[in-house]
Every structure is written in structure tokens, then in C-alpha cells.
Amino acid sequence: MPCATPPTPAYQEKLASIPKESFLFGPSPIQCLPRLTAALGDKVRIYAKRDDCSSGLAYGGNKVRKLEYLVADAKAKHATHLVSVGGVQSNHTRAVTATATASGLNAVTVQEKWVPIDPPLYDQTGNILLSRLMGGDVRLNNEPFHIGHKTATQEAFAEIEKAGGKPYYIPAGASDHELGGLGFTNFVVELAEQEQTLKLPFFDTLLVCSVTGSSHAGLIVGAVAEGRGRKVIGIDASGKPAETKAQVARIARNTARLLDVKLVIPDEAIVLDERFHAGIYGIPGPGTIEAMKLAARTDALITDPVYEGKSMDGMIQLIKEGTIKPGSTVLYVHLGGQPALNAYSSYFGGEELK
């Protein structure tokens, strides 16, 4: 007699019931990184889950996975505009503009001076160029970086209402929002299915960049909920790790309550390594650049100087020092961000790339 199919856990049932758009090609691919593994002494097996290759909407990236839920909510509320905020080279505002465009909505994005640099064409190339190309209403101002909610978005929101539109507010990174953690909780469900169907090894360690926090938080919820002992390690790239860790914890616990009131996120599940942010958001340090070069020159894995270069630096060091234990199977969660590279070309001249 065939075995009965085990019941779906409560959190997965709730997750599956929450409306979302279909902006992704499907499960993002998982890539083995054999040359990077060898370069780090074959101590651990390294793979990458490529959320940078997950969507056809303006180069994809992790924000598109999150925005599937937020845009569905915006449409259910009959919104006409998505309103959000980020830095001049924000991957998030590019993704907001892309998902709005693909959904027949308008996008208003406030692009602030989160990074205290002015390299050539910084506000004319990379992500902001793509947002303008898609017809986004891009508004520059000089507010500095912090991960909280911003006054300028409130002003844009009120302006749209006054003109008769119906705006929908999306916080920085699509993070500090009731639905912000769902995309990366679903990432873990997706990963477990890929491990089984593709006969992949069990990924005992997930490593992710953390700034506004919902990618990191969603992974924590997914890992705790499935109960298989996966460790999630966040690498801070905000330069303000206390704020980031507090926001990760809040988003994770709010997401857990939304999915299953019995699901508890323990303090020890919230791990944020603050050694690799290079002192400030948005500016690469020497370790960032060296890590980017190593990933690119082993498995042609391209990372960016704001987010993924810093998390790659973290992963490399954690493997070298043994914090990620020999014999582990590591999944590097690639969140995207490469469109910003052109805006940082002055950091990668001939001498720097030798």
C-alpha cells in the first residue's frame, strides 16, 4: 500500500494562500562554484543560488522576488502608483519601476544621496539609467542613508493623492512591510524542493548580504520553520549593523507570526557578521574588491561593490578562518546588483584590476 503524502506544514499552507504576482522565470538556478571552492582549499563545497538570474524584468535581483507579494497587494487595493525610496544607484528602486511598468502601474522613486561620493556619471548610469529608460518618475534629493522610512516618500504619496491617483507605499528594499519577508521565506521552500528534485546536497549554511533586512529575515523564517538545522549567516553591508540586526529581527518575527502564530524565531537564529561593511554603506573596501576579483576570476561570478562584493568577502573569510566548518555545503545567496557596476568604474581602473 503506498505511503500517504505527509501534510503540508501550517506555515507553507498560509504562505501559499497569500496572493502574489508571477515576475520570476521560476525557481532561480543553483550553480556549483568548483573553482572558487578549489581556490579556498576545497574545505567546503560552494554553490550560488542566482536570484540575479531569476527574472526578465530589468535584470531581476532579490527585490523582484519580494515585490511579487507587494505588487499583488497594491493591485488588490487598486493602486495607480508605486512609491518607494533608495539611493541613487538603488537596485530596489530599479526593481520597483520594473514591476510597476510590467503591471501597468506608475512608479515614483525618491533617489537619495545614500553614498557620499560623486564619481563620473554616478547619477546618470547603472540602475538609475534603467529606471529612467522604463519611464519611472525619478526624483533626486540629498537625504543621507538610513534604513528607516523617509519624509520624501510621504510628500510624493500626498502629491499623487492630491492629483487623484492612488499611491501604494513600498519601504526601502521592500523590507519593513507586513509582506516584506515572504519572498525569502518562500526562497527556502523553493530551495528544499530543488534539493530533492535536482538531487542536490543539503545546504547546511546559507550566506546572504543584509542591509534593509528582509531577504535575511525571510531566510531565517524559512530555515527555522522547516526545522532541518540550516544556519543563515547575514553579512552586514549597511555600516550600521545595530540598526540592521534590529530590523532583521523585527521583520523575521512579524513574518513568522503572519505565517504561524506558534512559530518562534530564537535570538540565536539571527546572525549578522559586521566585519565586512568596509565602514560605510555603498563604498567598497580593499577586501570587497579582492573578493569581487576572486569570484570573477574563478567561476566568472560577477558581484557588485555595494552588496554582493561585501558578502562575498565575508564568505571567503568565514571559510578561511573555519567559522564555516570544513565539510559544510554553503549556498551563497546571490541577490543581484550588477547594474550598479558601471557607476563604480572609477574604483576598477587598470591598476586596481591587475
Catalytic hit among 28, 54, 55, 90: 90
Please tell me the predicted confidence (pLDDT) of residue 220: 98
Task: Report yes or no on 4 lying in a domain.
Answer: no
Task: Report yes or no on 70 lying in a domain.
Answer: no
Please tell me the predicted confidence (pLDDT) of residue 164: 97
Q: CA–CA separation, 140 vs 87, rounded Å?
A: 9
Do 190 and 132 share a structural domain? Answer: no
Checking if the pLDDT of 152 tops 90, the result is no
pLDDT in tens, 248-291: 999 999 999 999 999 999 999 999 999 999 999 999 999 999 99
Please tell me the predicted confidence (pLDDT) of residue 351: 58
pLDDT in tens, 153-175: 899 999 999 999 999 999 999 99
Per-residue burial over 270-289, b if 16 or more Cβ lie within 10 Å, else e, is bbbbbebbbebbbbbbebbb
Q: Are 72 and 89 in contact (CB under 8 A)?
A: no
Q: Which of 174, 194, 229 corresponds to the end of one domain?
A: 174
Please tell me the predicted confidence (pLDDT) of residue 1: 45
Checking if the pLDDT of 22 tops 70, the result is yes
Please tell me the predicted confidence (pLDDT) of residue 5: 58
Do 53 and 86 share a structural domain? Answer: no
Q: What is the pTM of this model?
A: 0.96
CA 38 to each of CA 34, 115, 163, 294, 354: distance values in angstroms, whole numbers, following the listed order: 6, 35, 59, 12, 21
Do 130 and 30 share a structural domain? Answer: no
Do 192 and 47 share a structural domain? Answer: yes
The whole domain housing 99 covers 77-174
- Return the SS3 of 22: coil
DSSP 347: G
**Residue 151: pLDDT band by 50, 70, 90 thresholds?**
confident
Task: Report yes or no on 63 lying in a domain.
Answer: no
Q: Is 175 a catalytic residue?
A: no
Please tell me the predicted confidence (pLDDT) of residue 74: 98
Do 324 and 283 share a structural domain? Answer: yes
CA 31 to each of CA 22, 194, 269, 336: distance values in angstroms, whole numbers, following the listed order: 23, 12, 26, 14
pLDDT in tens, 283-333: 999 999 999 999 999 999 999 999 999 999 999 999 999 999 999 999 999
Q: Which of 121, 151, 174 corresponds to the end of one domain?
A: 174
Q: What percent of the chain has pLDDT over 90?
A: 90
Q: What is the CATH number of the domain that holds 91?
A: 3.40.50.1100
Do 169 and 253 share a structural domain? Answer: no
**Residue 145: pLDDT band by 50, 70, 90 thresholds?**
confident
**Residue closest to 143 by CA, chosen among 112, 108, 111:** 112
Do 184 and 161 share a structural domain? Answer: no
Mean pLDDT of 61-65: 98
Q: Which of 174, 201, 224 corresponds to the end of one domain?
A: 174
Checking if the pLDDT of 346 tops 50, the result is yes
Checking if the pLDDT of 352 tops 70, the result is no
Task: Report yes or no on 68 lying in a domain.
Answer: no
Task: Report yes or no on 25 lying in a domain.
Answer: yes
Q: What is the DSSP string of 141-154?
A: ------SS--HHHH
Q: CA–CA separation, 105 vs 98, rounded Å?
A: 10
**What amino acid is encoded at 286 in this protein?**
P
Return the bridge partners of 207, or none. Answer: 233, 332
Do 227 and 197 share a structural domain? Answer: yes
Q: How many domains does the chain have?
A: 2
Do 339 and 191 share a structural domain? Answer: yes
- Could you tell me which residue, 1 or 307, shows the higher pLDDT? 307
Three cell numbers at 132? 529612467
Checking if the pLDDT of 148 tops 90, the result is no
Task: Report yes or no on 302 lying in a domain.
Answer: yes
Task: Report yes or no on 69 lying in a domain.
Answer: no
Mean pLDDT of 228-243: 98
Do 54 and 128 share a structural domain? Answer: no
